[in-house]
Amino acid sequence: MRQKGLHFLAVDLTDKAALLAVSAQLPERFVLIHMAARVSTHSSIDARGVDEINGAVTMTLNLINVLAGRIAYLCFISSVDVFGNPGGQMVEESHPVNSERVYGAAKLMSEHMFLVASQRYGFGLSILRVGHVYGPFEHVASVTHEGRGRRMIPSFIRSCLEHKPMIIFGDGQDLRDYVHSYDVAQAILRAVVGGAEGLFIIASGKSYSVIQIAEMIRKVTGCEQELEMRPRMVPRFDYRFSIAKAQNVLGYVPTVKMIDGLADEVLWTKRVASNG
């Protein structure tokens, strides 16, 4: 499908034959931005966990085996989930990795595979460990999220718009560093255009408590829904990320203030609701 100068090709990256067929329509040399993934909060290495890891590894292997010789530059979208629970420490790129979830473990495996491939085939490689992304098109849940993994910001927004209590597990003091999708796009563009190589954390560099985020959502929606506190279901996670390297090397500077980004997502949510 072509639209506004863009050419869209749909392909299952876990299907090597399908990727081979599509590769014939690609240029001889090109830039690849790889962000396809199954986002999950699953933490057990059971049959489901193994299936999720196999899917991620298979996608990476297929991209390398089919396309590596033609890639001029690759930007891989990884995740801060590879760090696990940093316990409130300020996290830089050199922080030890210790993912407690299948998603983070799979991202870390793909990072290493692309690093080996870049050295073998000689293409430039940037790895962006992206923070907790929010913004338009964010949904409450997906088929890969368990009930306890419902995404916080869209859940709070829907609760406000539907005049229901915002449910918080724990005391609401857990810290989160949310980065707007527009700023993530900015970071990707800067990495690709500049041909930057290496590992970069892409976040906002500012952390807010869960209660602070809930209060901002109440402000931008104009709702005064109650906060319903429930017992904690998972250990406390506090996230604080340094974006100094991305700022110094990429020239990355987050542009979307948290409250403005929340207002943007509220408007999008209302439009979706009004369209049925």
Q: Mind listing the pLDDT tens digit for each residue in 106-127?
A: 999 999 999 999 999 999 999 9
pLDDT for residue 42: 61
pLDDT for residue 147: 43
Mean pLDDT across the stretch 31-42? 83
For residues 10-47, one letter each, b for 16 or more C-beta atoms within 10 angstroms of the residue's C-beta and e for the rest, the string is eeebbebeebeebeeeeeeeeebbbeebbebbbbeeee
Identify the residue whose tokens are 């067929």: 21
- Return the minimum-mean-pLDDT range out of 186-195, 216-225, 240-249: 216-225
**Domain-wise residue ranges, the chain:** 10-274
Lookup: tokens for 36 = 């396809």
Flag whether pLDDT at 34 surpasses 50.
yes
Flag whether pLDDT at 146 surpasses 70.
no
Please tell me which residue, 276 or 19, carries the higher pLDDT value: 19
pLDDT for residue 174: 95
Mean pLDDT across the stretch 34-44? 76
The type of residue at 72 is A
N-term to C-term CA, the chain: 26
pLDDT band for position 7 (cuts 50, 70, 90):
confident
For the chain, percent of residues with pLDDT exceeding 70: 92
Query: What CATH fold (topology level) applies to the domain 10-274?
Result: Rossmann fold (3.40.50)
Identify the residue whose tokens are 């929340």: 262
pLDDT for residue 151: 84
Identify the residue whose tokens are 């057990």: 44
Q: Cα 168 to the chain's mean position, in Å?
A: 22
Contact 182, 133 (CB under 8 A): no
Mean pLDDT across the stretch 37-47? 69
For residues 262 and 260, give the distance between their C-alpha atoms in angstroms, rounded to a whole number: 5
Mean pLDDT across the stretch 205-218? 96
For the chain, percent of residues with pLDDT exceeding 90: 76
Flag whether pLDDT at 142 surpasses 80.
no
Flag whether pLDDT at 2 surpasses 60.
no
pLDDT for residue 148: 43
* Pairing status of strand 227-230 against strand 166-169: parallel
- Return the minimum-mean-pLDDT range out of 89-93, 132-136, 224-228: 224-228
Q: Mind listing the pLDDT tens digit for each residue in 181-194?
A: 999 999 999 999 99
Mean pLDDT computed over every residue of the chain: 91
